[in-house]
Amino acid sequence: MAYDGALTLGGVLKEVAGRWGQREALVDLPSGMRLTYAEFDRASDKLARAFLGLGLGPGQRVALWGPNNPLWLVVMYAAAKAGLVLSSVDTSFGREELAYQLGQSRCAALVLAPGIEGVEFLEALAELCPELALPAPRGLDCAELPALRRVIVLGEQGLPGTLTWDQAMEIGRTVPVEALTERMDGIKPGDVATLLYTSGTTGRPKGVMSPHQGLILTSVAGGDNQRLSEQDRLVVSVPLCHMFGCICIALAGIIKGASLVIPSRLPEPGAILQAVVQENCTALYGPPTSFIAMMDDPAYQEMAGGGLRTGVMAGAQCPIEVMRKVVEDMGVEDILIGYGQTEASSWISTSRPVDPLELRVSTVGRPVPGAEVKIADLADGTPLPPGEVGEICTRGHVMVGYFDLPAETAQAMDQDGWLRTGDLGTMDAEGYIRISGRLKEVIRKGGASVFPADIEEVLFAHPAVNTVAVFGVPHPELGEEVACWVKLERHTQATEQEIVAFLREQLPESHLPAWIRFVEEFPSTPLGKIQKFRMREIMVEWLESESE
């Protein structure tokens, strides 16, 4: 479906507020706050004017550090209206990670919550900038972060050198409305809107510069595929500080005039389930591990007969048994599988509600409108024919580049605009994409390439297996060997020998794990994505201790 609306984030909110101003936009269950689209638009206008009053100019970066909260989204759209570039900070960060991101991005302002459990965010910032103990009427002067000039606290109390939310809003009232209108008129669809950082699992995090237009058009495609409308109520159950939360869910919902329901400050299965029932939510999101955790929660039974209809599962392979439970037991009949990257302005491909269940599990759907995809030969980047494994590359609504990292940008994108995703996969003649695994996660065993997904897919079919993750660990002779972590279903049992025998029936000897570890939980990101690099580190430490 063609989109003929506004192509800047601030323009989108203006357009939606003009059409559905009295509909609920943001619902926050922890605080009880409820904002209509008209109220959301007015609040972001006022903060945008405050940004202007503080002297922040077009293209400057403003960081945002806080858990899921309606004000988080108010800040995001205020920054967009003021022509600023939003750089969200992961809620799991500490002082060192904060210092790196604020320093590398040269953020001119920081908006932050006091903390999640108290004032831990403020304390971390105060350690970096002891100058916050002194009033800063004309701007902060922080030796460690010289670019940082203003700090706004999402609360009633801050530090002497910060502004509270109310103080910032008062500044906004002093700036003429016409000044904001003029600023917004100067923003172009191709201007950078967000600077979101990669996870940094293989090195320092990189700031991804995404333009307004790319974020909006991929979100339109995602919303269309979910058949979202102003009648829908979306559970914002993943952190807003990641693209999945602020773009894939929130922006797609806002474009369609839907209501966004925030169940808790951080992901909590019980709170998510309560929100679904209490607010009659229609859409649910997260990685497969999140859906599994919800179905394992005691409150899950209360969801029976609810209004859930759609949503997206992304971030990892979804076993067909889990998909069947989500569709048949949860009632989310139109649940989709999505595949995307921050560098690609969110979605690269999604399935459609009309796709059979088997296709929604075995593939990540077809490219979304505006995204071109090729499977490239690892040696020379030439397109491969249908069915052959290569690197998934995409172009269309991709990033402008990594902030201040030209070499890394050149490595990730070629001169023709193709983004190398680092993922391996195939594409069939109908355009359906199948993920074989991360290029960096392929296990190189004795000259052969072992794809973890091939082993995981078989194990997910084992009746005793709840969740599984396969990865490689160093081996002195083979290069790498296969390791496997398994979480069993409640009240079930299995041995290593039984797991290996089950795999041997369907896979070659090269794919059988040398080590199997039964666990209760996996190291994961705030989004719930399993961190295989941490599992590899843990296994290496364990193997070294065993050999001593």
> Is pLDDT above 60 for 202?
no
Does any domain span residue 113?
yes
Domain at 45, CATH number: 3.40.50.12780
Shortest CA distance to 391 belongs to which of 351, 346, 331, 440?
440
Question: 433-456, pLDDT tens digit by residue?
Answer: 998 878 888 888 877 778 888 898
CB 162 within 8 A of CB 152: yes
Q: Is 9 exposed, middle or buried (0-12, 13-18, 19+ CB in 10 A)?
A: buried
Q: How many CB atoms lie within 10 A of CB 99?
A: 18
pLDDT at 304 (0 to 100): 63
As beta bridge partners, residue 311 has 284, 335
Does any domain span residue 413?
no
Shortest CA distance to 59 belongs to which of 209, 173, 170, 166?
209
Does any domain span residue 303?
no
pLDDT at 278 (0 to 100): 94
Does any domain span residue 382?
no
Name residues whose C-beta falls within 8 Å of residue 216's C-beta, 6 or more positions apart in sequence.
3, 5, 6, 7, 8, 9, 12, 189, 251, 255
Question: 72-94, pLDDT tens digit by residue?
Answer: 999 999 999 999 999 999 998 99
CB 493 within 8 A of CB 472: no
Q: Which of 31-45, 327-341, 436-450 has the lowest mean pLDDT?
A: 436-450
pLDDT at 530 (0 to 100): 84
Cα 388 from Cα 392, distance rounded (Å) = 11
- 85-89: strand order across its sheet: 163-164, 150-153, 109-112, 61-65, 85-89, 192-197, 207-211, 401-402
Q: Which amino acid is at 139?
A: G
- 390-395: strand order across its sheet: 372-376, 390-395, 419-427, 433-438
> Across the chain, which distance is largest between two alpha carbons, in Å?
73
Last residue of a domain, one of 159, 177, 197: 197
CB 51 within 8 A of CB 80: no
Last residue of a domain, one of 138, 168, 197: 197
For residue 64, give the H/E element and its range: strand 61-65
> Is pLDDT above 80 for 529?
no
Q: Taking residues 474-482, report their average pLDDT.
A: 88
> Is pLDDT above 90 for 385?
yes
Give the position of tokens 């209206």.
Answer: 81
Q: Which amino acid is at 76?
A: M
Cα 250 from Cα 19, distance rounded (Å) = 18
Shortest CA distance to 422 belongs to which of 223, 199, 214, 256?
199
Does any domain span residue 503?
yes
Q: What is the dihedral of CA 259, 263, 268, 274, to 10 degrees?
A: -100
Tokens in use for 442?
Answer: 């392929």
Question: 118-154, pLDDT tens digit by residue?
Answer: 999 999 999 999 999 988 778 899 999 999 999 999 9
Angstrom CA distances, 415 to 79, 94, 418, 419, 451, stand at 31, 37, 7, 10, 30
Residue 282, phi-psi category: left (phi > 0), alpha (psi -120 to 50), beta (remainder): alpha
Question: 337-382, pLDDT tens digit by residue?
Answer: 999 999 999 999 999 999 998 888 889 999 999 999 999 998 888 9
pLDDT at 243 (0 to 100): 94
Does any domain span residue 98?
yes
Domain at 486, CATH number: 3.30.300.30
Q: How far is CA 498 from the centre of its chain?
A: 36
Does any domain span residue 519?
yes
Shortest CA distance to 62 belongs to which of 42, 40, 43, 77?
77
> Is pLDDT above 70 for 269?
yes
The percentage of residues in the chain with a pLDDT greater than 90, rounded to a whole number, is 74
How many domains are there within the chain?
A: 2
pLDDT at 1 (0 to 100): 43
Question: 223-263, pLDDT tens digit by residue?
Answer: 999 999 999 999 999 999 999 999 999 999 999 999 999 99
pLDDT at 548 (0 to 100): 67
CA atoms within 13 A on the CB side of 253: 33
pLDDT at 203 (0 to 100): 60
As beta bridge partners, residue 471 has 483
Q: What are phi and psi of 125, to 5 degrees?
A: -65, -40
pLDDT at 293 (0 to 100): 87
Last residue of a domain, one of 197, 212, 245: 197
CB 284 within 8 A of CB 259: no
As beta bridge partners, residue 151 has 110
CB 531 within 8 A of CB 518: no
> Is pLDDT above 70 for 305?
no
CB-based contacts of 440-445 (< 8 A; 24+ apart in sequence): 440/202, 441/471, 441/472, 441/532, 442/472, 443/470, 443/471, 443/472, 443/480, 443/481, 443/482, 444/472, 444/479, 444/480, 445/472, 445/475, 445/478, 445/479, 445/480, 445/481, 445/482, 445/510
Angstrom CA distances, 150 to 76, 159, 363, 420, stand at 16, 12, 46, 37
Q: What are phi and psi of 391, to 5 degrees?
A: -85, 135
Give the position of tokens 């409305």.
Answer: 177
Which range of residues forms the domain containing residue 41?
Answer: 17-23+37-197
Q: Which amino acid is at 1?
A: M
CB 344 within 8 A of CB 352: no
Give the position of tokens 């992901």.
Answer: 267
> Is pLDDT above 70 for 201?
no
Average pLDDT of the chain to the nearest whole number: 92
Give the position of tokens 């397109």.
Answer: 383
Cα 283 from Cα 260, distance rounded (Å) = 10
Burial code of 54-71, b = ≥16 C-beta within 10 A, e = fewer? bebeeebbbbbbbbbbbb
> Is pLDDT above 80 for 317?
no
pLDDT at 320 (0 to 100): 76
Shortest CA distance to 421 belongs to which of 434, 408, 438?
438
pLDDT at 2 (0 to 100): 58
Does any domain span residue 75?
yes
